[in-house]
């Protein structure tokens, strides 16, 4: 009887805790009223950086190319010890969109980030943030400035694929634009 009673108490408490978690998760996914703007941490201003002016964050992952937070793209060998691209090297480019299509999708991640950092892309990024689905809101709430937003936006995501295993555009799969590439015919 004691074992049965303890088992019943354990079962009921577990069930109520699970129900509380489900209600909390449902509340997180509820759509906010359209009149209430989403509060984003991203502040758009020129020279936006949380680092000291003589230090740069960069895209890190590129084997051959790197983009720094100022929008410069350079070869990895031309990266300075402070994390910034060496602007005195002729191959270093500012806000380069060399591998990008008009829809904002690029074939090289670093070019996507550099192109996304262009000051004239601010309006596009703000529109994206204001219309972001609630599922993306939690992802993009973690970014603190335009550089982090461009890093996150250019990474491949579920919007870049169709059928969960095929890129919508196998060549230009890194996108900062508002809309994902068109679906390929089946």
Q: pLDDT digit string (tens) for 24-68? A: 655 554 544 444 443 344 444 444 444 445 788 999 888 899 999
Give the model's pLDDT for residue 111.
95
Residue at 60 is within a domain:
no
User: Sorting pLDDT into bands at 50, 70 and 90, what band is 181?
Assistant: low
Give the model's pLDDT for residue 90.
95
71 & 161 share domain = yes
- Give the contacts of 136 (CB within 8 A, at least 6 positions apart): none
Distance, CA of 117 to CA of 151 (rounded, Å): 10
Directed axis angle between helix 146-154 and helix 122-131, to 10°?
Answer: 70
Report the pLDDT averaged over residues 76-92: 94
Residue at 55 is within a domain:
no
Report the pLDDT averaged over residues 63-85: 93
Give the model's pLDDT for residue 68.
94
Report the pLDDT averaged over residues 91-120: 92
77 & 168 share domain = yes
Give the model's pLDDT for residue 28.
52
81 & 156 share domain = yes
Say if CB 181 and CB 166 are below 8 A apart.
no
Residue at 40 is within a domain:
no
91 & 1 share domain = no
Residue at 37 is within a domain:
no
Is the confidence at residue 131, as pLDDT, over 90? no
79 & 27 share domain = no
75 & 163 share domain = yes
Is the confidence at residue 73, as pLDDT, over 70? yes
Give the model's pLDDT for residue 178.
76
Residue at 9 is within a domain:
yes
Q: What percent of the chain has pLDDT over 70?
A: 66
- State the total domains in the chain: 2
Q: Which domain holds residue 140?
A: 65-175
User: Which one of 6-15, 48-57, 159-168, 170-179 scores highest in mean pLDDT?
Assistant: 6-15
Is the entire prediction scored with pTM above 0.75?
no
Residue at 81 is within a domain:
yes
């Amino acid at each position: 009887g004691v074992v049965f009673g303890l088992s019943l108490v354990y079962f009921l408490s577990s069930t109520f805790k699970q129900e509380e978690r489900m209600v909390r998760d449902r509340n997180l996914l509820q759509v906010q009223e359209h009149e209430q703007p989403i509060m984003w941490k991203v502040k758009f201003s020129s020279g936006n950086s949380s680092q000291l002016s003589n230090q740069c964050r960069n895209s890190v992952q590129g084997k051959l190319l790197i983009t720094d937070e100022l929008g410069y793209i350079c070869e990895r060998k031309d990266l300075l010890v402070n994390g910034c691209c060496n602007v005195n090297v002729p191959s270093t480019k500012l806000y380069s969109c060399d591998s990008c299509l008009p829809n904002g999708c690029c074939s090289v991640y670093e070019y996507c980030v550099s192109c996304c950092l262009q000051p004239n892309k601010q309006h596009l990024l703000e529109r994206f943030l204001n219309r972001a689905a609630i599922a993306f809101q939690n992802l993009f709430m973690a970014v603190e400035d335009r550089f982090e937003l461009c890093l996150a936006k250019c990474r491949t995501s579920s919007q870049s694929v169709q059928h969960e295993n095929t890129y919508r555009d196998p060549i230009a799969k890194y996108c900062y634009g508002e809309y994902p590439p068109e679906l390929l015919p089946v």
